Amino acid sequence: MGERGDEQSQRLLKEVETAKSHSSIEDDEYRIRPSSRTSPWAIPGFLLVMLALLLPLFKYESHPFSSSNPPDVRELQLAIPLHPKEHTRRNRRTLSFDWNVTLGDSSPDGVKKIVYLVNGAFPGPTIEARSGDRIIVHVHNNLDSEGLAIHWHGLRMRGFNAMDGAIGFTQCPIAAGTGFVYDFKIGDDEHGTFWWHSHSHVQRADGLYGGLVVYPPDADLERSEALLLVGDWFHQRQRDVLKWYADYGSLGNEPVPDSVLVNGRGRYNCSMAVPARPIACEQLIGSDVLPLLFGEPTDATKLRIVNTGSVAGISLSADGATLQPIAVDGGFAVRADPQKSLGVLYPGERVDVVVDWAGQDAKKSLLHIVLDDENFRGMPNPALAPHHAFAFFPNGSESGQEIHPPVVTADKQGNLGNIVGATHSSPLTRPARETMVIYLKTQLLSRFQNRPLGFVNNTSWRPQTPPLLALATEFWNDHQFVPFVSSDNMSSEIDIVINNLDDGSHPMHLHGHSFYVLSSYRAEGRSGWGSYNPYEGEPLAPFNMVNPVKKDTVSVPRRGYVVMRVKTDNPGLWMMHCHMLVHMGTGMVTGLHVGRSDDKDHLDVDDSAANLCV
């Protein structure tokens, strides 16, 4: 015990010295630099010194799920450990970060690829904050030639429209070799699972993303928490994938990914590679992939899950555990029973689940992830293993592709598409002020050389320079379909009906707002259609006005529709787009111009939005 105690004493003494070196940091602000994170110390330094000196006299073991995880916990588990106790009991602060964006080689699933790095890491840093915090991120673009922008997915950005990171709407790209400071405040009522990602071209699919978790103040912390960033993965650079899709030769068939990653790690079977796509592959074995969690499967754990993928929905199921959804997207509470499977989570969507191992063989429990193949029907990828299993704990089952997902009976199978809100006291007490009808369609037209283009109400979007925020509407070009919505009455709401005229789903994300999903319909088979225009006919599915789920990203079913109820209380220019990157990259983008009725022409421009334009 003597040597071990000395080591622990030395480590604590070093931590005390670190605390002293940052003792000048005020309680209302701390800065997080590229390679370190510091926070105020609530315990006086001399007490820690005494603890360090007395430590060899006691047998001390740190608990793997404590709020102060060991510095190397990320080397022991795949899930990103979260620290809610450090944020729910403190006052509001300003959190400042320095991010250096570069390119580098990585082999996240055994296959070598060029990826985007933030401070040398992929995925990028996870931001943890509390409601009301101010966030300052200094972004340094150290790429050779590419511009970039960062979007804070799910945050409303009330009063900070210019910080939304939407190229073409709120800013121009941050040019290579330059920088930009994102500076905004999280709303006092905002909390939940969010994420940040590039909103420039298709960089998100090559790793330019990370987690963003906002905790409510004074929350009851009953469980340990962790974050899973889960998504499809291509071995080709995404710009090459988009180039293939945008050519007439693709016939509009969506590209099919090669693998699945969880927090930047996966396991690809090198023998499945095809000669047409040569790769540099090092075969990983099951033990090369860390377990999701490190420790003993005692208490239930809260997992915050984000689909970071560029094309595919993911189905989640569990062996040796149950999964109970408790919130979706930006912390909106839902009501659901514990299940063995969750259904499909689409790109951009998030779900918080409680994982419970009670009464089950937890040591051998697995999380199964299956890529939804709805958009893969045109040109299958023989190199793809659509199913991947990840062990929850060490010394149990190994992670791999060959493990079959569990057979889930109907009574244990969840469906995130049918989930309802947690309360029966509906806030929807008045009819919508107006209804907007939108149609989504991918078309191959001869006048565009039969290249697949995404259209919203017959408009295919292209980013405009300067961005719309810096321009009056008379200068917006023909590629902008951004309807005006009055914000004069902040409590009024509108309905948006989104019709999908394609054979695959479209996960649609609305910036700056959340919304209630009142109705969703999907046509049976592939011969019928399920469009809805309230000015011409009756809905094909009932409206839920009692306990609708609230979201900021929703999948519009193939040959179907979704009805959204949106409160127009956040003035600005807010993008709405398909979160499948090849669809957004070929034009499936619209937006809302929310403003005063006396400024429909957007004469009150924000000139600062053009500062980055070159």
pLDDT of residue 47: 43
User: Mean of the pLDDT values across residues 550-563?
Assistant: 97
Peptide bond into 123 cis (omega under 30): yes
- Asked whether residue 522 is assigned to any structural domain, the reply reads yes
In sign, the C-alpha dihedral spanning 202, 306, 315, 343 is negative
- Asked whether residue 253 is assigned to any structural domain, the reply reads no
d(CA 227, CA 230): 10
* Percent of the chain scoring above 70 in pLDDT: 85
d(CA 441, CA 463): 19
User: Mind listing the pLDDT tens digit for each residue in 181-232?
Assistant: 999 999 999 999 999 999 999 999 999 999 999 999 988 777 899 999 999 9
Question: What mean pLDDT value characterizes the chain?
Answer: 86
Domain ranges, residue 451:
434-610
Q: Comparing 228 with 357, which gets the higher pLDDT?
A: 228
- Asked whether residue 379 is assigned to any structural domain, the reply reads no
Buried b (16+ CB within 10 A) or exposed e, 85-122: ebbbebebbebbbbbebebeebebbbbebebbbbbeeb
CATH code, domain with 503: 2.60.40.420
- Comparing CA positions, the residue from 66, 64, 61, 62 lying closest to residue 85 is 66
If you write DSSP's letter for every residue of 158-202 in order, what string do you get? Answer: TT-GGGS--BTTTB--B-TT-EEEEEEE--TT--EEEEEEE-STT
User: Mind listing the pLDDT tens digit for each residue in 297-338?
Assistant: 778 899 999 999 999 999 999 988 999 999 999 889 999 999
Lowest mean pLDDT among 173-182, 306-315, 389-398, 497-506: 389-398
- Asked whether residue 17 is assigned to any structural domain, the reply reads no
Q: Comparing 94 with 43, which gets the higher pLDDT?
A: 94
- Asked whether residue 527 is assigned to any structural domain, the reply reads yes
- Asked whether residue 547 is assigned to any structural domain, the reply reads yes
pLDDT of residue 64: 31
Euclidean distance between the first and final Cα of the chain, in Å? 63
Q: What is the DSSP secondary structure assignment for residue 404, as one 8-state letter?
A: P
pTM attached to this predicted model: 0.87
- Asked whether residue 449 is assigned to any structural domain, the reply reads yes
Total domains in the fold of the chain: 1
Annotate 41-110 with three-state secondary structure: CCCCHHHHHHHHHHHHHCCCCCCCCCCCCCCCHHHCCCCEECCCHHHHCCCCCEEEEEEEEEEEEECCCC
pLDDT of residue 426: 66
Residue 394 corresponds to which tokens in the numbers above?
A: 């060490």
